Structure 1
Amino acid sequence: MFANRLVNIMLVILVTVTLIGVIALVVITQFLQPTSADGEPTIDEVIELNVETEEITTNLLSNDIIRSKFVIQLDAQTGKDEFEKRDYQIENIIIQELSDRKASDFNGSSGILDLEEHLKRRFNEVMQSGEVVDVYMRERVIQ
């Protein structure tokens, strides 16, 4: 290639070091990135593990009527499957919790957050193969 053998060796070493650097950069940026399993789940994974209740209408302790819907987020597909099979128990728990509250309990966000935490705890008491991660009140109409 070149007349000087030293220049040939130097070019081969330079190309080799450059290739190693490029390969290392590709490995670090593509393969060593944290996956969603290591961190927080993506929104698509969260939506896939959600269960939405049907509209529930019941009386409150203050003789008002509430119509509500909830979205329950579970930790795994097996938990979601079990939760869907326990729909009658879940609706019963929701009705019990709502029946023990007054309309004034829903005036601020603290009352709603308290209800969501109580429901989460009660749901986890009946679950065997999964866990409820969060409960969200999707709709509420008090009359």
Structure 2
Amino acid sequence: MKNKLVAIMVTLLVAITLVGVIAIVVITKFTGETEAKAEPSADEIVESSVEIPEITTNLATGDFIRISFMIQTDSKDGKEELEKRNFQAKNIIITELSELKADQLKGKAGKEQLQENLKGQINGLMQEGKVEKVYITSSILQ
């Protein structure tokens, strides 16, 4: 009689514990508590980046700039799309630069603002992926 009672109690305790564990797993899965996304490695960044070769164009003040970029996308599909839209990206870059004055590009803040503006405008074109970051790889202002 006692063995039967102990067996029933152990079975109930295991069942309750199992239900509790399942409930915790389900709650954490569906409430969106996920770990922070790991930063991509240098190789992953290179694999998903497109180089925009040196562009020479006039600024709004009559000065000119020689500048080149590396544009990082979120995936290989995004990279392929951006490679096909390379001429559109160059057009955006040239038109954006033509509106700027030399003083706006001299400091760190000006270059960061240019990078953000280009990122937003190029993302407006993208359908398969998105631009994660725009890097200025060389810049000569005259």
TM over 0.5: yes
- Displacement after TM superposition at 1:41 (Å): 1.4
Moved over 4 A (4+): none
Partner residue in 1 for 2:138? 139
Q: How many residues align?
A: 107
> Residues of 2 paired with 1:71 and 1:122: CA distance?
15
Partner residue in 2 for 1:15? none
Amino acid at match of 2:134: V
CA RMSD of aligned residues (A): 1.2
Amino acid at match of 2:101: K
Partner residue in 1 for 2:104? 105
> Residues of 1 paired with 2:38 and 2:106: CA distance?
35
Partner residue in 2 for 1:75? 74
Partner residue in 2 for 1:46? 45
Partner residue in 2 for 1:58? 57
> Residues of 2 paired with 1:112 and 1:40: CA distance?
23
- Displacement after TM superposition at 1:142 (Å): 1.2
CA shift digits 1:44-98 (9 cap, x unpaired): 1111111110110110001001110001000000000000000110000000110
> Residues of 1 paired with 2:52 and 2:96: CA distance?
15
TM-score (norm 2): 0.73
> Residues of 1 paired with 2:41 and 2:136: CA distance?
21
| SS of residue paired to 2:53 | coil
Amino acid at match of 1:114: Q
| SS of residue paired to 1:82 | helix
Deviates more, 1:69-78 or 1:43-52: 43-52
| SS of residue paired to 2:67 | strand
Partner residue in 2 for 1:116? 115
- Displacement after TM superposition at 1:135 (Å): 0.2
Unaligned runs of 5+ in 2: 1-36
Amino acid at match of 1:78: D
CA shift digits 1:5-29 (9 cap, x unpaired): xxxxxxxxxxxxxxxxxxxxxxxxx
Amino acid at match of 1:120: K
